Amino acid sequence: MAHSPKITLVPGDITEQHVDAIVNAANSSLLGGGGVDGAIHRRGGPEILAECRALRAGHYGGGLPTGRAVATTAGRLPARWVVHTVGPVWSRDEDRSELLASCYRESLRIAAELGARTVAFPAVSAGVYGWPMEDAARIAVETVRSTQSAVEEVRFVLFDERAYRAFAEQVHSS
Ligand code: ADP
């Protein structure tokens, strides 16, 4: 039976996580970028990019739309799959929260389809895409808590102290 996944918080680097699937805060090109995306391709090796290129040549010719997710191999990373999702760029004028929530739901759906039981997420959109960390943490935690999934554990991997504090605040206060 599906439940909402148990949430754990870990400070550190997502590329070092021994989980079934790690989620990449990718961009729509799927062809790599900075931040966590750069780290995943660097540490995971060229196999990940090769699969991303194949996705672009096939079903995702126009790129992966914001809020959606797709899986590839994890290459040399200590995980089985990388689930690439495209977070929304933060906007002051437009509420894009539903798209950010969709990243978590879609990533969990894809991971569960693959048979993943443990899934690690970074703080999607909270880096270069500019989403305020407290709000990014709220959406992440609320969305996982309200999603029924065969995934048993969602591990938020927080790269710096500020991110860790924001997620801890959400997990413990609500
Ligand atoms: P986005 O473009 O979606 O904002 P970023 O990669 O710029 O994605 O940032 C998302 C979050 O991931 C930020 O909080 C950033 O500090 C964090 N981050 C960067 N590198 C890593 C890593 N190796 N492991 C986990 N989190 C990371």
Per-residue pLDDT reduced to its tens digit, 58-97:
999 999 999 999 999 999 999 999 999 999 999 999 999 9
Report the distance separating Cα 93 and Cα 48, nearest Å: 35
Active-site annotation holds for 37: yes
Ligand 1 atom at shortest distance from the alpha carbon of 136 = 14
Q: What is the pLDDT of residues 156-170, one digit of tens each?
A: 999 999 999 999 999
Q: What are phi and psi of 68, to 5 degrees?
A: -105, 170
Question: How many angstroms separate the alpha carbon of residue 1 from the centre of ligand 1?
Answer: 32
- Look up the CATH number of domain 6-173: 3.40.220.10
Record the tokens describing residue 50, joined without a space: 């090769």
Which tens digits make up the pLDDT trace of 89-126? 999 999 999 999 999 999 999 999 999 999 999 999 99
Q: How far is the CA of 59 from the centre of ligand 1 (A)?
A: 26
Token readout for 43 is 């540490």
Chain-centroid distance, C-alpha 67: 10
Residue 25 Cα to ligand 1 midpoint, Å, equals 7
- Model-level pTM? 0.98
Residue 1: pLDDT over 80: no
